[in-house]
Homo-oligomer: A and B are copies of this chain.
């Protein structure tokens, strides 16, 4: 299983955001929607061996985590508004301590990064990391940040984790996932 976790520092935890204004009312929810797209979509197919964890750290709080499972997800189209609508539906249901399914293959629970890191080992995707092309065996699980860098507190949580870079330029999180999956596809081919 490949897992991508993306920290949405401003991403709203309320279903009240507007699908017509994902960057503003959603707290840059558009960034997370594009990461869902990158994690799953192939031409006329979905990556069934992937999961995408969206860590929503914005207002009104407390933190929530939305999980998309490629093996189960339905009603997901590639456009940002499609994944945003599924996130909005997840935010609209009562949110408990365990993952609860809102629509097929989409789940939500309370809690954020520290809880997720306690469950799976993650590598960090970061400009300063080891080049994925020349690295040995690649890990399965990767943590990315949205348009903001990880906070000092988040950095301390992932201190000592392996870090990987996808190339010489600093890319958006969704582009980073795309380049990484291409490397994984090549190794699996």
Protomer copies: 2
Residue from B78, B167, B182 in contact with A167 in the complex, judged by beta carbons closer than 8 Å: B182
Tell me the minimal C-beta distance from A139 to chain B in angstroms.
19
What is the number of residues of chain A that contact chain B, defined by CB distance less than 8 Å?
Answer: 36
A168 touches B (CB below 8 Å): yes
Whether the Cβ atoms of B170 and A43 lie closer than 8 Å is: yes
The 0/1 profile, CB within 8 Å of B marked 1, for residues 155-181 of chain A is 000000000001111111001001100
Q: A178-B179, A182-B179 are in contact. Are A30 and B172 (CB under 8 A)?
A: no
Enumerate 10 A-B pairs (CB-CB under 8 Å) in ascending A order: A20-B81, A30-B80, A41-B172, A42-B169, A42-B170, A43-B169, A167-B182, A167-B186, A168-B189, A169-B185
